[in-house]
Amino acid sequence: MYKLNMIDKISFVCVLIGALNWGLLGLLNFNLVSAIFGSVPILARIIYILVGVSAVNIIIFIFRSKKA
């Protein structure tokens, strides 16, 4: 089994946050990230960027773990 490093763990948490946000948006039309960081739009944008980069890291993680 592949051992998770700290960046992989943070990536999983970020992707979970993104998935919960999309679920809330689809079910209740409530954007959690905008609700928390709505007054500072640059922070919301940074959160969205981190979620996207984390998703790419998890895709890479999947291919790395298949080789191990």
Residues 41-66 have pLDDT tens digits of 899 999 999 999 999 999 999 888 87
In whole angstroms, what is the distance from residue 54 CA to residue 59 CA?
9
pTM of the prediction? 0.83
- Per-residue pLDDT at 14: 94
Q: Is the torsion defined by CA of 17, 3, 58, 40 positive or negative?
A: positive
- Per-residue pLDDT at 54: 96
68 pLDDT above the threshold of 80: no
Could you give the angle at which helices 6-28 and 41-67 cross, rounded to 10 degrees?
120
**pLDDT one-digit tens code per residue, 3-54:** 889 999 999 999 999 999 999 999 999 999 999 888 898 999 999 999 999 9
Residue that has been written with the tokens 């948490």 in this structure? 13
Q: Residue 48: which residues within 8 A CB-CB, separation 6 or more?
A: 18, 33
